A and B are shown apart, each in its own frame.
Chain A
C-alpha cells in the first residue's frame, strides 16, 4: 500500500456541529446585541467558539502525535491554510479598495472635481477636498451642528523633525523585526533542531507582537484623546480605524497563535521536519507583517 492510499479520513465527529451551533449562537447574539444592546448571547457564542477551537486543535495535534496524517494529508493542510490566507488578503483588499476609492475618487468629486457630472455647490457648499480629510462636508454645510466632526490633526508623516516622536515608525520597525525573529526561530528548528534557540527567538517574536499591540493601544488613546480622530470623524477616521483595527486584531490572533506554538514547543512537540503548526503560524505572521507595510505606506505616509 502506498502512502497515497492511506489517507486518513476521520470517523464521525461531534466537533463540527457543536462549532456550527456556537457560530450560530454568536451570530444571532451579535445581531441581537446591535439591536437591543444586550451582549450576553454573543459573548457566550464567542466563548463557545473559542472552546470548540481548543478541542478541535487539540484533537488534530493529538492525531498528529499518533502519526495518523500521511504526507498527503499534510499537503491538504498546507493548501487549506494557504487559501485561507489568500481569503484574508482579499478581505484587506476590500478595505484598501474602499480607502483608494474614497480618497482618490469620491472625495475629489465631493470637492467639485469633474464639474458637469456633480454639482457640489448645491450639496456641500464650501467643502474643500484635502487628504487627510480633517474638515468634513457635513461641517462645511452645518458648522457646529455637524454629526461628522473631523480631527484636529492627522497621524500622517510629520516630516523629518517629528520623526522620532512618530509612533507608526516604531511599530513598523518592531513588526518587520518580528518577521525576521520568527524566521530565525524557524531556521534554528529546521537546521540543527536547536530547541533552545527556537524557543528564544519565538518567545522574542511573541514579546514583539505584544509590544506592537501595546503601542497600538497607546496610539488609539492618543488619536481619540488628543487628535480628535474617532470613528465618527468622517472618512479619515473611518478608514484609519477600520484598516488599523482589523490589522491589530490579526496581530492579536497571530501573537496568540505563536504563543500557543511556544507552549507546544515547551511540551516538546516539534521536530526538525514536523512542525506544521508553527510553520503555519509563521506564514500568518508574515502575512500580517506585509499588510502592515501596506498600511504604513498608504495610511500613514502618503
Chain B
C-alpha cells in the first residue's frame, strides 16, 4: 500500500485509489459537459431565428431531452462525486474511501450507461424525445422503442449513485481521523454527507418509477393508464418525489464548495458554521415534502396547492441563512479576487437571483402564468449553471494547484470567468422576458414577437459555450506545463486538512491519521 500508482492504462481501469477515481469522475463529467453542451448549441442554433432551419422538430425534442439527461446525470452529479472522492478523505484525514473497490465499480458503470443512452441517437427510432422529466404517457404510450435503453441506463446510473453515496456516508461516519468530530468537519464534507443521504433515499424511488414505466410499456400493467384505473399524474408524483430532492443533490455540494472558497479569499473563518450545518439539514428535510410544486397545473385540490405553496416558500428561510452567512463572511474581510473567488461571488449573486425566481414560481396562482414557459427554463439554469456549474469551475481552479502541483494561468482563468459570466447572463436573462411574454419551453419554433430575445439568447449561448473551450485549454495547459508550485498552502488564507499535505499530495495520504494538533491548526471552523 505504500507504493505509488501502477503504470499504464491499468492504473485507471483497476484502481482503488480515491484520487485516481476522483480524477476519472472529473474527466468523465467534463466529457459529458461537452456532449450536453453540444446538444444545447444545437437547440440554441435552431432557436436563433423563428421557423425551422437546421433540424426537424422530432430531433429537436431528442436534443432537449438528451441535453437535460446528460447534463443532470452525466455532467453535474458525477462532477461532484469526483470532487467528493478527491477531497473528502483528505479533508477528514482518512487513508482512502471506506470501500475502495466499490468506489471503482460505481465509476466504471457510468460509461456503459451513457454509451447506451447516447447510442439511441443513432438508432432508427431515435433517442428519447419526451423531455428529461419523462412524463407518462409521453414516455410510455407514445415513446419510441429506445425508451427501453433509457430505462436500463437510468437503472445503472441509479446503482452508481447509490453505491457512491453509501461509500461517502461510510467514509464520513467511519473514517474521520481521531479528533475530527462531526462539528469540526469542513462544510463541503457536511453538505456531501447530507447529499449522500438524499441520494440513497430517492434514487431507489426513481428506479421504481422507471420500472413502472417498463412494466406499463412491455407487460400491460396500468400504473399510468386511466383505462385500467391508473393515473399519469401518479408518474409525476413519483418522479418529483425523486426530482425535488434531486435538485438539492445537485446544489448542496455546490454550497459546500462555496463555503470553502469564500472564507479562504476573505481571509476570515466561515460566518455561522453551525447554522450552515443546520440550514443544510433543514433544506434536505424540506426537499422531501414540497415535490408537487412542480405540478400546480395537473389539477390538484386547492388544499394541496396551498400546502405545497407554503411548504416550498419555507425553503427560502434556510437558503436565506446560507446567503446571509456567505455575505457576512465577506463583510470586512481582506478580500482578494482570484478566479475561484470570482466564480464564488458570481455564484452567490446569480444563485440568489435563481432562488428569487424560484419563489415566484412557488406561488401557485402566479405559477399558472409561468408554468412550462421559458421563465422556468431561465430559473433552473440560474441555479443549475450559475449555481452548480459555476461552483464546479470555482472548485477546479481552487484545488487544481493542490491536485497537480502546478498553477493555472490566472489571466486566462479570469478571462474564462468574465466570458462565462457575461455569456451566461446574455443567454438566460432574456429568457425571463420570453417566459413572462408567454413563450412555451421545449418548442422547436416560436411566434415572431419572441424573435429578438431568442437571437440574443442564442448569441449568449455561443459565447458561454466557447468560453468552456478556454477552460478546457487552461486546465490541460496547467497539467502539462503549468508553473510548478510546492508550498502546501496554495492560497494564504486557506484552511482545512488538505492544505496541510504536500503539493501535489502523494498517491496515498493519511495512511496514518494526522495528529489532533494538525487537525486543530488547520480547522476550517472558527475557534
List chain A positions with a Cβ less than 8 A from chain B.
Answer: 1, 4-5, 7, 9-17, 19-21, 23-24, 27-28, 30-31, 34-35, 56, 72-73, 75-77, 79-80, 83-84, 86-88, 90-91, 93-95, 97-98, 101-102, 105-107, 109-110, 114, 117-118, 123-124, 133, 136-138, 141, 146-148, 231-238, 241-242
Contacts and interface: CB of A to CB of B under 8 A. Distances in A.
Given A93-B205, A234-B229, A21 B112 contact: yes
B201 A90 contact: yes
B123 to A, nearest CB: 9
B190 to A, nearest CB: 17
Contacts of B104: 13, 16-17
Given A21-B112, A106-B233, A241-B221, 11 more contacts: A5-B511, A17-B108, A31-B148, A80-B98, A94-B209, A97-B241, A136-B222, A148-B228, A234-B228, A235-B229, A242-B211
B100 A27 contact: no
Nearest to A140: B227
Contacts of A80: 98-99, 102, 166-167, 170
B151 interface: yes
A12 B227 contact: no
Interface in B93-134: 94-96, 98-102, 104-105, 108-109, 112-113, 115-116
B14 A101 contact: no
B98 A19 contact: no
Given A87-B204, A91-B204, A148-B228, A12 B173 contact: no
Contacts of A23: 109, 112, 156, 159
A95 B234 CA distance: 11
B203 A242 contact: no
A133 B219 CA distance: 19
A12 B204 contact: no
28 contacts: A9-B16, A10-B101, A17-B108, A28-B152, A31-B116, A31-B151, A35-B148, A76-B98, A80-B99, A83-B165, A88-B204, A90-B200, A90-B204, A91-B207, A94-B204, A94-B207, A98-B238, A136-B228, A137-B228, A138-B227, A141-B227, A232-B222, A233-B228, A235-B229, A235-B230, A237-B222, A238-B215, A242-B211
Contacts of B13: 14, 17
B170 A83 contact: yes
Contacts of B167: 80
A110 B231 CA distance: 9
Contacts of A76: 98-99, 170-171, 174-175
B489 interface: no
A236 B222 CA distance: 9
Interface of B: 1, 6, 10-11, 13-16, 94-96, 98-102, 104-105, 108-109, 112-113, 115-116, 145-146, 148-149, 151-153, 155-156, 159, 162, 165-167, 169-171, 173-175, 178, 200-205, 207-209, 211-212, 214-215, 217-223, 225-231, 233-234, 237-238, 241, 299, 301, 508, 511-513
Nearest to A94: B208
Contacts of B98: 73, 76, 79-80
A79 B174 contact: yes
A20 to B, nearest CB: 4
Contacts of A75: 174
Most buried by A among B102, B228, B299: B228
Contacts of A232: 219-222, 228
A24 B112 contact: yes
A238 to B, nearest CB: 4
Nearest to B168: A83
Nearest to B108: A20
B271 to A, nearest CB: 32
Nearest to A42: B152
Given A14-B14, A94-B209, A28 B116 contact: yes
Contact of A13 (B16, B145, B230, B241): B16
B509 to A, nearest CB: 11
Contact of B229 (A28, A97, A133): A133
A97 B94 CA distance: 39
Contact of B105 (A19, A138, A238): A19
A88 B207 CA distance: 11
Nearest to A236: B229
Contact of B170 (A20, A79, A102, A233): A79
Given A16-B105, A28-B112, A28-B152, A238 B222 contact: yes
B105 A101 contact: no
